[in-house]
Structure 1
Amino acid sequence: MRALASLFKDTFKATMGSSLCKLLADAAAKEAKNAKAILVPVGSLEDHGPLPMGLDTKIAERVACSIPGVYVAPSINYSFSPEHAKSITMPLEILVRHMSSLAEQLYQLSGKPVLFVVAHKGAVPPLQAVVMEIFRKGVKAAVIDLWKAVEEAGYKDFQDLCRAEASVALALGYSVVVRKTKAVKSPPALEGATIPWISTEYGCSPKSVSEARKEEGEKIIETMINAVRKVVEFFESADGG
Protein backbone atom coordinates (compact mmCIF):
# COMPACT_ATOMS: atom_id res chain seq x y z
CA MET A 1 0.00 0.00 0.00
CA ARG A 2 2.85 2.38 0.84
CA ALA A 3 4.53 1.58 -2.47
CA LEU A 4 1.29 2.33 -4.30
CA ALA A 5 0.87 5.64 -2.46
CA SER A 6 4.46 6.59 -3.25
CA LEU A 7 3.96 5.71 -6.92
CA PHE A 8 0.79 7.83 -7.06
CA LYS A 9 2.55 10.81 -5.50
CA ASP A 10 5.55 10.52 -7.83
CA THR A 11 3.27 10.21 -10.85
CA PHE A 12 1.24 13.24 -9.77
CA LYS A 13 4.35 15.35 -9.34
CA ALA A 14 5.65 14.19 -12.71
CA THR A 15 2.52 15.47 -14.40
CA MET A 16 3.11 18.83 -12.76
CA GLY A 17 6.36 19.08 -14.70
CA SER A 18 8.51 20.18 -11.77
CA SER A 19 10.40 18.61 -8.88
CA LEU A 20 9.83 21.88 -7.01
CA CYS A 21 6.22 20.96 -6.32
CA LYS A 22 5.40 20.85 -2.62
CA LEU A 23 1.87 19.60 -2.10
CA LEU A 24 0.00 20.89 0.91
CA ALA A 25 -1.69 17.51 1.24
CA ASP A 26 1.72 15.89 1.83
CA ALA A 27 2.78 18.37 4.53
CA ALA A 28 2.19 18.31 8.27
CA ALA A 29 -0.17 21.07 9.38
CA LYS A 30 2.58 23.01 11.18
CA GLU A 31 4.72 23.03 8.02
CA ALA A 32 2.20 25.22 6.19
CA LYS A 33 3.46 28.20 8.17
CA ASN A 34 6.88 27.82 6.52
CA ALA A 35 5.60 28.57 3.03
CA LYS A 36 5.85 31.90 1.25
CA ALA A 37 2.23 31.46 0.13
CA ILE A 38 -0.45 28.84 -0.43
CA LEU A 39 -1.36 28.44 -4.10
CA VAL A 40 -4.74 27.07 -5.15
CA PRO A 41 -4.86 25.98 -8.83
CA VAL A 42 -8.26 26.73 -10.37
CA GLY A 43 -9.40 25.15 -13.60
CA SER A 44 -12.58 23.71 -15.06
CA LEU A 45 -14.15 20.70 -16.71
CA GLU A 46 -15.48 21.98 -20.01
CA ASP A 47 -15.53 21.54 -23.77
CA HIS A 48 -12.15 22.27 -25.31
CA GLY A 49 -12.83 20.69 -28.68
CA PRO A 50 -9.85 18.43 -29.52
CA LEU A 51 -8.14 19.40 -26.25
CA PRO A 52 -8.73 17.72 -22.84
CA MET A 53 -11.76 18.88 -20.86
CA GLY A 54 -9.56 19.36 -17.81
CA LEU A 55 -6.85 21.35 -19.62
CA ASP A 56 -7.42 24.52 -17.56
CA THR A 57 -6.79 22.60 -14.34
CA LYS A 58 -3.63 21.01 -15.73
CA ILE A 59 -2.30 24.41 -16.77
CA ALA A 60 -2.96 25.93 -13.34
CA GLU A 61 -1.29 22.96 -11.63
CA ARG A 62 1.74 23.08 -13.91
CA VAL A 63 2.26 26.78 -13.23
CA ALA A 64 1.64 26.58 -9.47
CA CYS A 65 4.07 23.69 -9.12
CA SER A 66 6.85 25.71 -10.75
CA ILE A 67 6.96 28.33 -7.99
CA PRO A 68 9.62 27.73 -5.32
CA GLY A 69 8.93 28.14 -1.63
CA VAL A 70 5.16 27.67 -1.73
CA TYR A 71 2.70 24.92 -0.93
CA VAL A 72 0.21 23.90 -3.59
CA ALA A 73 -3.26 23.09 -2.25
CA PRO A 74 -5.56 20.54 -3.94
CA SER A 75 -6.91 21.89 -7.22
CA ILE A 76 -10.37 23.26 -7.94
CA ASN A 77 -11.50 21.12 -10.87
CA TYR A 78 -15.07 22.37 -11.17
CA SER A 79 -15.74 26.09 -11.34
CA PHE A 80 -17.93 28.61 -13.18
CA SER A 81 -18.52 27.68 -16.83
CA PRO A 82 -22.08 28.71 -17.75
CA GLU A 83 -20.92 29.93 -21.16
CA HIS A 84 -20.22 26.37 -22.32
CA ALA A 85 -23.13 24.04 -22.94
CA LYS A 86 -20.81 21.05 -22.64
CA SER A 87 -19.36 21.71 -19.21
CA ILE A 88 -19.69 20.99 -15.51
CA THR A 89 -20.43 24.32 -13.85
CA MET A 90 -21.00 25.11 -10.21
CA PRO A 91 -23.89 27.39 -9.17
CA LEU A 92 -22.38 30.82 -8.58
CA GLU A 93 -23.53 31.18 -4.98
CA ILE A 94 -22.12 27.76 -4.05
CA LEU A 95 -18.79 28.45 -5.73
CA VAL A 96 -18.43 31.82 -4.00
CA ARG A 97 -19.20 30.37 -0.57
CA HIS A 98 -16.83 27.47 -1.18
CA MET A 99 -13.94 29.68 -2.31
CA SER A 100 -14.48 32.17 0.52
CA SER A 101 -14.48 29.46 3.16
CA LEU A 102 -11.50 27.73 1.57
CA ALA A 103 -9.39 30.88 1.49
CA GLU A 104 -10.27 31.86 5.04
CA GLN A 105 -9.39 28.43 6.41
CA LEU A 106 -6.16 28.12 4.43
CA TYR A 107 -5.11 31.53 5.73
CA GLN A 108 -6.01 30.53 9.27
CA LEU A 109 -3.97 27.34 8.88
CA SER A 110 -0.86 28.93 7.40
CA GLY A 111 -0.94 32.63 8.16
CA LYS A 112 0.35 33.11 4.61
CA PRO A 113 -1.25 34.68 1.51
CA VAL A 114 -3.69 32.46 -0.35
CA LEU A 115 -3.25 32.90 -4.09
CA PHE A 116 -5.77 31.51 -6.56
CA VAL A 117 -3.86 30.54 -9.71
CA VAL A 118 -6.61 30.64 -12.32
CA ALA A 119 -6.42 29.16 -15.82
CA HIS A 120 -10.17 29.39 -16.51
CA LYS A 121 -11.37 32.88 -17.42
CA GLY A 122 -14.93 32.26 -16.24
CA ALA A 123 -13.76 31.77 -12.65
CA VAL A 124 -11.90 35.09 -12.48
CA PRO A 125 -14.77 37.54 -11.79
CA PRO A 126 -16.30 35.49 -8.94
CA LEU A 127 -12.88 35.01 -7.37
CA GLN A 128 -12.06 38.69 -7.64
CA ALA A 129 -15.19 39.41 -5.63
CA VAL A 130 -14.25 36.73 -3.12
CA VAL A 131 -10.76 38.07 -2.39
CA MET A 132 -12.04 41.63 -2.07
CA GLU A 133 -14.69 40.53 0.43
CA ILE A 134 -12.41 38.38 2.59
CA PHE A 135 -9.76 41.13 2.58
CA ARG A 136 -12.24 43.09 4.71
CA LYS A 137 -11.98 40.23 7.21
CA GLY A 138 -8.20 40.46 7.34
CA VAL A 139 -7.45 37.58 4.98
CA LYS A 140 -4.53 38.10 2.60
CA ALA A 141 -5.48 36.65 -0.76
CA ALA A 142 -5.22 37.38 -4.47
CA VAL A 143 -6.37 36.14 -7.87
CA ILE A 144 -3.84 35.59 -10.65
CA ASP A 145 -5.50 35.44 -14.06
CA LEU A 146 -2.99 33.42 -16.08
CA TRP A 147 -4.61 34.15 -19.42
CA LYS A 148 -4.66 37.88 -18.65
CA ALA A 149 -0.89 37.68 -18.36
CA VAL A 150 -0.80 36.00 -21.77
CA GLU A 151 -3.05 38.69 -23.27
CA GLU A 152 -0.74 41.38 -21.91
CA ALA A 153 2.14 39.56 -23.61
CA GLY A 154 0.50 40.28 -26.97
CA TYR A 155 -2.24 37.68 -27.48
CA LYS A 156 -5.23 39.95 -28.01
CA ASP A 157 -7.29 38.23 -30.68
CA PHE A 158 -9.56 35.33 -29.66
CA GLN A 159 -8.10 33.00 -32.28
CA ASP A 160 -4.57 33.92 -31.18
CA LEU A 161 -5.54 32.77 -27.70
CA CYS A 162 -6.94 29.57 -29.23
CA ARG A 163 -3.55 28.88 -30.80
CA ALA A 164 -1.88 29.72 -27.50
CA GLU A 165 -4.09 27.30 -25.57
CA ALA A 166 -3.44 24.48 -28.03
CA SER A 167 0.29 25.25 -27.90
CA VAL A 168 0.23 24.97 -24.10
CA ALA A 169 -1.54 21.61 -24.43
CA LEU A 170 1.31 20.40 -26.65
CA ALA A 171 3.85 21.68 -24.13
CA LEU A 172 2.08 19.67 -21.42
CA GLY A 173 2.43 16.52 -23.48
CA TYR A 174 -1.03 16.23 -25.00
CA SER A 175 -1.65 15.50 -28.66
CA VAL A 176 -3.76 17.99 -30.59
CA VAL A 177 -5.82 16.58 -33.45
CA VAL A 178 -8.08 18.89 -35.44
CA ARG A 179 -11.17 16.93 -36.42
CA LYS A 180 -13.68 19.54 -37.55
CA THR A 181 -13.50 21.27 -40.91
CA LYS A 182 -15.29 24.56 -40.34
CA ALA A 183 -15.13 27.32 -37.80
CA VAL A 184 -18.06 28.40 -35.64
CA LYS A 185 -19.03 31.87 -34.57
CA SER A 186 -16.71 33.32 -31.93
CA PRO A 187 -17.96 34.95 -28.72
CA PRO A 188 -18.86 38.64 -29.16
CA ALA A 189 -16.11 41.10 -28.24
CA LEU A 190 -17.47 44.63 -28.05
CA GLU A 191 -15.38 47.25 -26.27
CA GLY A 192 -16.45 47.66 -22.67
CA ALA A 193 -19.41 45.28 -22.92
CA THR A 194 -20.20 41.97 -21.25
CA ILE A 195 -22.70 40.03 -23.33
CA PRO A 196 -23.99 36.64 -22.13
CA TRP A 197 -22.94 33.86 -24.45
CA ILE A 198 -23.59 30.13 -24.49
CA SER A 199 -21.41 28.15 -26.84
CA THR A 200 -22.68 24.81 -28.10
CA GLU A 201 -19.56 24.29 -30.22
CA TYR A 202 -15.84 24.71 -29.67
CA GLY A 203 -15.21 28.27 -30.81
CA CYS A 204 -11.60 27.97 -31.97
CA SER A 205 -11.04 27.69 -35.71
CA PRO A 206 -9.31 24.60 -37.15
CA LYS A 207 -6.62 26.91 -38.56
CA SER A 208 -5.70 28.45 -35.21
CA VAL A 209 -5.49 25.06 -33.50
CA SER A 210 -3.47 23.49 -36.32
CA GLU A 211 -0.92 26.32 -36.02
CA ALA A 212 -0.15 25.42 -32.40
CA ARG A 213 3.49 24.71 -31.57
CA LYS A 214 5.04 23.11 -28.49
CA GLU A 215 7.82 25.72 -28.35
CA GLU A 216 5.28 28.52 -28.25
CA GLY A 217 3.42 26.72 -25.48
CA GLU A 218 6.58 26.46 -23.38
CA LYS A 219 7.14 30.21 -23.68
CA ILE A 220 3.53 30.90 -22.69
CA ILE A 221 3.85 28.70 -19.62
CA GLU A 222 6.95 30.64 -18.64
CA THR A 223 4.99 33.89 -19.01
CA MET A 224 2.35 32.49 -16.66
CA ILE A 225 4.97 31.32 -14.16
CA ASN A 226 6.56 34.77 -14.09
CA ALA A 227 3.18 36.36 -13.40
CA VAL A 228 2.64 34.15 -10.35
CA ARG A 229 6.22 34.57 -9.15
CA LYS A 230 5.81 38.36 -9.13
CA VAL A 231 2.71 38.16 -6.94
CA VAL A 232 4.44 35.82 -4.47
CA GLU A 233 7.41 38.22 -4.33
CA PHE A 234 5.06 41.17 -3.81
CA PHE A 235 3.47 39.62 -0.73
CA GLU A 236 6.82 38.47 0.57
CA SER A 237 8.32 41.95 0.31
CA ALA A 238 5.19 43.65 1.64
CA ASP A 239 5.20 41.87 5.01
CA GLY A 240 8.61 40.27 5.20
CA GLY A 241 7.16 36.85 4.43
Structure 2
Amino acid sequence: MNNRRVLRLTGGWNLQSHSVMPLGSNPLQPIRCCLAKGGRLWVGYWNKVHVVDVVSRKVEQTFSVSERSEQQVRFLCAGGSGVWTSCRLDPILRLFDWSSGRPLQEVDFTALVTKTLGPAFLTLSPLQISSLTVISSRLWVGTGGGAIFSIPLSITSEDVSIPYCSISSAQLCYHGHRQAVRFIIAAPGCLIVPPGSNDVTTSQLILSAGEGYINLRVGDDANEGSAEVSQTTPQRSERSHIIVWQNPSPAAASAAL
Protein backbone atom coordinates (compact mmCIF):
# COMPACT_ATOMS: atom_id res chain seq x y z
CA MET A 1 0.00 0.00 0.00
CA ASN A 2 1.29 3.48 -0.84
CA ASN A 3 0.34 4.82 2.61
CA ARG A 4 2.31 2.08 4.48
CA ARG A 5 -0.90 0.49 5.79
CA VAL A 6 -2.08 -3.10 5.70
CA LEU A 7 -5.72 -3.84 4.91
CA ARG A 8 -7.35 -7.01 6.24
CA LEU A 9 -10.44 -7.94 4.24
CA THR A 10 -12.91 -10.45 5.65
CA GLY A 11 -15.33 -12.62 3.69
CA GLY A 12 -14.30 -11.38 0.25
CA TRP A 13 -13.64 -8.08 -1.44
CA ASN A 14 -16.00 -5.95 0.64
CA LEU A 15 -14.10 -2.68 0.50
CA GLN A 16 -16.54 -1.03 2.92
CA SER A 17 -15.61 -3.38 5.77
CA HIS A 18 -11.92 -3.71 6.43
CA SER A 19 -9.31 -3.15 9.11
CA VAL A 20 -6.43 -0.71 8.81
CA MET A 21 -3.07 -1.37 10.45
CA PRO A 22 -0.42 1.38 10.23
CA LEU A 23 3.17 0.21 10.00
CA GLY A 24 6.43 2.04 10.48
CA SER A 25 6.87 5.79 10.67
CA ASN A 26 7.69 8.79 8.51
CA PRO A 27 8.91 9.28 5.86
CA LEU A 28 6.19 7.20 4.23
CA GLN A 29 7.10 4.53 1.70
CA PRO A 30 4.95 1.96 -0.11
CA ILE A 31 4.76 -1.60 1.14
CA ARG A 32 6.54 -3.47 -1.63
CA CYS A 33 6.02 -7.10 -0.63
CA CYS A 34 4.03 -9.40 1.67
CA LEU A 35 4.23 -13.11 2.41
CA ALA A 36 1.40 -15.08 4.07
CA LYS A 37 1.99 -18.49 5.66
CA GLY A 38 0.55 -20.37 8.63
CA GLY A 39 -1.56 -17.57 10.09
CA ARG A 40 1.25 -15.00 9.92
CA LEU A 41 1.98 -12.22 7.48
CA TRP A 42 5.46 -10.93 6.74
CA VAL A 43 5.35 -7.34 5.51
CA GLY A 44 8.37 -5.62 3.97
CA TYR A 45 8.54 -1.91 4.82
CA TRP A 46 11.69 0.16 4.36
CA ASN A 47 14.61 -2.07 5.46
CA LYS A 48 12.53 -4.03 7.97
CA VAL A 49 10.12 -6.93 8.08
CA HIS A 50 7.04 -6.68 10.31
CA VAL A 51 5.56 -10.05 11.32
CA VAL A 52 1.79 -9.74 11.79
CA ASP A 53 -0.60 -12.22 13.42
CA VAL A 54 -3.51 -12.24 10.97
CA VAL A 55 -6.04 -13.20 13.67
CA SER A 56 -5.16 -10.70 16.38
CA ARG A 57 -3.96 -8.15 13.81
CA LYS A 58 -0.98 -7.30 15.98
CA VAL A 59 2.66 -6.98 15.04
CA GLU A 60 4.44 -9.86 16.77
CA GLN A 61 7.95 -8.98 15.75
CA THR A 62 9.99 -6.49 13.75
CA PHE A 63 13.54 -7.04 12.54
CA SER A 64 15.95 -5.40 10.10
CA VAL A 65 16.86 -7.10 6.84
CA SER A 66 19.64 -4.66 5.98
CA GLU A 67 21.75 -2.37 8.14
CA ARG A 68 21.24 0.42 5.60
CA SER A 69 18.14 2.33 6.69
CA GLU A 70 17.46 3.63 3.17
CA GLN A 71 17.11 0.11 1.77
CA GLN A 72 13.66 -1.24 0.86
CA VAL A 73 12.72 -4.91 1.18
CA ARG A 74 11.56 -5.97 -2.29
CA PHE A 75 11.13 -9.77 -2.23
CA LEU A 76 10.00 -12.35 0.34
CA CYS A 77 10.06 -15.99 -0.80
CA ALA A 78 9.21 -18.92 1.48
CA GLY A 79 10.86 -22.32 1.21
CA GLY A 80 10.87 -25.02 3.88
CA SER A 81 11.08 -23.32 7.27
CA GLY A 82 12.91 -20.26 5.95
CA VAL A 83 12.34 -17.09 3.94
CA TRP A 84 14.70 -15.67 1.33
CA THR A 85 14.70 -11.89 1.04
CA SER A 86 16.20 -9.26 -1.21
CA CYS A 87 16.27 -5.47 -1.07
CA ARG A 88 15.78 -3.04 -3.92
CA LEU A 89 18.98 -2.19 -5.85
CA ASP A 90 20.94 -4.69 -3.77
CA PRO A 91 22.90 -7.78 -4.95
CA ILE A 92 22.70 -9.54 -1.57
CA LEU A 93 20.27 -12.36 -0.75
CA ARG A 94 19.46 -13.06 2.90
CA LEU A 95 17.83 -16.10 4.51
CA PHE A 96 15.77 -15.82 7.72
CA ASP A 97 14.10 -18.39 9.93
CA TRP A 98 10.32 -18.30 9.50
CA SER A 99 9.49 -18.85 13.17
CA SER A 100 12.01 -16.56 14.87
CA GLY A 101 13.18 -14.15 12.17
CA ARG A 102 16.77 -15.15 12.96
CA PRO A 103 19.27 -14.54 10.11
CA LEU A 104 20.66 -17.81 8.76
CA GLN A 105 22.61 -17.11 5.57
CA GLU A 106 23.78 -14.21 3.43
CA VAL A 107 24.85 -14.51 -0.22
CA ASP A 108 26.48 -11.75 -2.27
CA PHE A 109 25.57 -12.34 -5.91
CA THR A 110 28.37 -10.12 -7.24
CA ALA A 111 31.02 -12.84 -7.11
CA LEU A 112 28.77 -15.38 -8.87
CA VAL A 113 27.87 -13.01 -11.70
CA THR A 114 31.50 -11.95 -12.17
CA LYS A 115 32.64 -15.58 -12.29
CA THR A 116 30.00 -16.80 -14.76
CA LEU A 117 29.51 -13.75 -17.00
CA GLY A 118 32.70 -11.77 -16.51
CA PRO A 119 33.35 -8.29 -15.09
CA ALA A 120 32.09 -6.65 -18.31
CA PHE A 121 28.54 -7.73 -17.47
CA LEU A 122 28.56 -5.51 -14.39
CA THR A 123 29.51 -2.43 -16.44
CA LEU A 124 26.17 -2.49 -18.27
CA SER A 125 24.15 -1.77 -15.13
CA PRO A 126 24.63 -2.03 -11.37
CA LEU A 127 24.01 -5.56 -10.15
CA GLN A 128 20.59 -5.91 -8.55
CA ILE A 129 18.04 -8.63 -7.94
CA SER A 130 14.99 -7.86 -10.08
CA SER A 131 12.99 -11.06 -9.46
CA LEU A 132 13.13 -13.86 -6.91
CA THR A 133 11.10 -17.01 -6.34
CA VAL A 134 11.36 -20.55 -4.95
CA ILE A 135 10.29 -23.31 -7.38
CA SER A 136 10.91 -27.06 -7.09
CA SER A 137 13.36 -26.73 -4.19
CA ARG A 138 15.46 -24.24 -6.12
CA LEU A 139 15.94 -20.51 -5.73
CA TRP A 140 15.39 -18.75 -9.06
CA VAL A 141 17.06 -15.35 -9.29
CA GLY A 142 16.58 -12.79 -12.06
CA THR A 143 19.02 -9.89 -12.30
CA GLY A 144 18.70 -6.32 -13.52
CA GLY A 145 20.97 -7.19 -16.45
CA GLY A 146 18.66 -9.96 -17.69
CA ALA A 147 20.59 -13.03 -16.48
CA ILE A 148 18.74 -15.83 -14.68
CA PHE A 149 20.27 -18.20 -12.13
CA SER A 150 18.90 -21.36 -10.51
CA ILE A 151 20.35 -22.46 -7.16
CA PRO A 152 19.57 -25.76 -5.36
CA LEU A 153 18.11 -25.44 -1.86
CA SER A 154 18.52 -27.94 0.97
CA ILE A 155 14.79 -28.64 1.31
CA THR A 156 13.78 -32.16 2.33
CA SER A 157 10.57 -31.19 4.14
CA GLU A 158 8.40 -28.11 3.73
CA ASP A 159 7.88 -27.99 7.51
CA VAL A 160 11.33 -28.34 9.05
CA SER A 161 13.98 -27.98 6.34
CA ILE A 162 16.09 -24.82 6.36
CA PRO A 163 16.52 -23.81 2.69
CA TYR A 164 20.24 -23.08 2.67
CA CYS A 165 21.60 -22.49 -0.82
CA SER A 166 24.87 -23.79 -2.24
CA ILE A 167 26.23 -20.98 -4.39
CA SER A 168 28.86 -23.33 -5.84
CA SER A 169 26.03 -25.39 -7.37
CA ALA A 170 24.31 -22.39 -8.98
CA GLN A 171 23.42 -22.72 -12.65
CA LEU A 172 23.32 -19.91 -15.19
CA CYS A 173 20.39 -20.15 -17.59
CA TYR A 174 21.85 -19.57 -21.04
CA HIS A 175 18.58 -18.05 -22.23
CA GLY A 176 18.17 -14.56 -20.78
CA HIS A 177 16.80 -11.08 -21.37
CA ARG A 178 18.57 -7.93 -22.49
CA GLN A 179 17.16 -5.91 -19.61
CA ALA A 180 15.80 -6.65 -16.14
CA VAL A 181 13.95 -9.92 -15.53
CA ARG A 182 10.47 -8.76 -14.56
CA PHE A 183 9.15 -11.94 -12.98
CA ILE A 184 9.69 -15.70 -12.71
CA ILE A 185 6.66 -17.92 -12.05
CA ALA A 186 5.71 -21.61 -12.12
CA ALA A 187 2.83 -23.24 -13.99
CA PRO A 188 2.42 -26.72 -12.43
CA GLY A 189 0.21 -29.52 -13.69
CA CYS A 190 0.66 -28.85 -17.41
CA LEU A 191 -0.19 -31.77 -19.72
CA ILE A 192 2.52 -32.44 -22.30
CA VAL A 193 1.98 -34.60 -25.41
CA PRO A 194 5.22 -35.26 -27.36
CA PRO A 195 4.95 -34.97 -31.18
CA GLY A 196 3.92 -38.25 -32.77
CA SER A 197 2.94 -39.80 -29.44
CA ASN A 198 -0.30 -40.40 -27.61
CA ASP A 199 1.38 -40.48 -24.20
CA VAL A 200 0.39 -37.63 -21.90
CA THR A 201 2.79 -36.61 -19.14
CA THR A 202 2.34 -34.08 -16.37
CA SER A 203 5.01 -31.43 -16.29
CA GLN A 204 5.76 -28.13 -14.63
CA LEU A 205 6.59 -25.07 -16.69
CA ILE A 206 8.77 -22.24 -15.41
CA LEU A 207 8.35 -18.87 -17.10
CA SER A 208 10.41 -15.70 -17.01
CA ALA A 209 9.48 -12.38 -18.60
CA GLY A 210 11.56 -9.39 -19.60
CA GLU A 211 12.47 -7.04 -22.40
CA GLY A 212 14.51 -8.57 -25.20
CA TYR A 213 16.16 -11.97 -25.57
CA ILE A 214 19.77 -13.08 -25.64
CA ASN A 215 21.42 -16.48 -25.82
CA LEU A 216 24.39 -16.07 -23.52
CA ARG A 217 26.27 -18.90 -25.26
CA VAL A 218 26.36 -17.14 -28.63
CA GLY A 219 25.87 -13.49 -27.71
CA ASP A 220 23.43 -10.84 -28.87
CA ASP A 221 21.24 -11.42 -31.93
CA ALA A 222 20.27 -7.81 -32.42
CA ASN A 223 21.42 -7.85 -36.07
CA GLU A 224 19.01 -10.54 -37.21
CA GLY A 225 16.39 -9.75 -39.82
CA SER A 226 16.32 -7.80 -43.05
CA ALA A 227 17.68 -4.30 -43.35
CA GLU A 228 14.48 -3.39 -45.16
CA VAL A 229 12.41 -3.78 -42.00
CA SER A 230 11.05 -0.46 -40.84
CA GLN A 231 13.08 1.25 -38.18
CA THR A 232 9.89 1.63 -36.14
CA THR A 233 9.56 -2.17 -35.86
CA PRO A 234 11.47 -3.54 -32.87
CA GLN A 235 13.94 -6.28 -33.68
CA ARG A 236 13.46 -9.69 -32.11
CA SER A 237 16.15 -9.06 -29.52
CA GLU A 238 14.39 -5.87 -28.41
CA ARG A 239 10.82 -7.10 -28.07
CA SER A 240 9.40 -8.35 -24.78
CA HIS A 241 9.87 -12.08 -24.33
CA ILE A 242 8.60 -14.88 -22.13
CA ILE A 243 11.11 -17.72 -21.76
CA VAL A 244 9.66 -21.13 -20.85
CA TRP A 245 11.48 -24.10 -19.30
CA GLN A 246 9.94 -27.55 -18.92
CA ASN A 247 10.56 -29.32 -15.63
CA PRO A 248 9.55 -33.00 -15.93
CA SER A 249 9.28 -33.48 -12.17
CA PRO A 250 7.98 -30.81 -9.76
CA ALA A 251 10.26 -32.25 -7.09
CA ALA A 252 13.56 -31.54 -8.84
CA ALA A 253 14.61 -29.12 -11.54
CA SER A 254 16.21 -30.32 -14.74
CA ALA A 255 19.99 -30.12 -14.90
CA ALA A 256 19.80 -28.67 -18.41
CA LEU A 257 18.68 -25.06 -18.25
TM-score by length of 1: 0.29
Which structure is higher in helix share? 1
Higher strand share: 2
Q: Which has the higher contact order (CA 8 A, sep 6+)?
A: 1
> So what's the TM-score if we normalise by structure 2?
0.27
| Higher Cα Rg, which structure | 2
